[in-house]
A and B are shown apart, each in its own frame.
Chain A
Amino acid sequence: GAGVSQTPSNKVTEKGKYVELRCDPISGHTALYWYRQSLGQGPEFLIYFQGTGAADDSGLPNDRFFAVRPEGSVSTLKIQRTERGDSAVYLCASSPGTGDGSAMPKQYFGPGTRLTVT
């Protein structure tokens, strides 16, 4: 079946502009995660959704970052007033559900969006 998809694959924008990054999870997966990965580092957690609601957004670096998942499927990560330090690969992952923590389901990653802020 289809995996997680993300669009665009690459985005180049100027400092100060607004960008939207889209994630299409695996059909039926209720949990969706956003991460940011810089060169030489592991993915850094930003936010996760269980259904339509943001279950934890503690990883969002500041109020320029916002994410939505209005119908419990597709999610959009929105970045306002982009800065050069926002340049990174933004990864989305989905899983069947968050479980109770002691049995956290496996996550399946999309190919990522490479964001470059000039």
Chain B
Amino acid sequence: EVQLVQSGAEVKKPGESLKISCKGSGYSFSTYWIGWVRQMPGKGPEWMGIIFPGDSDTRYSPSFRGQVTLSADKSISTAYLQWSSLKASDTAIYYCARQRYSFHAQKFYGMDVWGQGTPVAVSS
């Protein structure tokens, strides 16, 4: 079964650092892009960026560039999303998802496999 399993819920204080994870199984992890999506309470999803675990090529949304860091360790089929200094406004559910891409057409398609989400609460 193809799946992405994310790390558990986090409760942090403003200014703290955090790294959450997303472990893939059932497919060749290094050959599919992994995307990260933020969903703030009661709001729609926001695309944060993607990483290609095979070579760690990364694309960030301008809204999130400099605010978070994407990384991946293909040897353990795991992608990461990290913050160096959290803010209260980072409170949200964070999803990882497999981002389909056609190397032949050089086009992205849908996000077809999703993790269960990692709730992050930041409060003093």
> Do A and B assemble together?
no
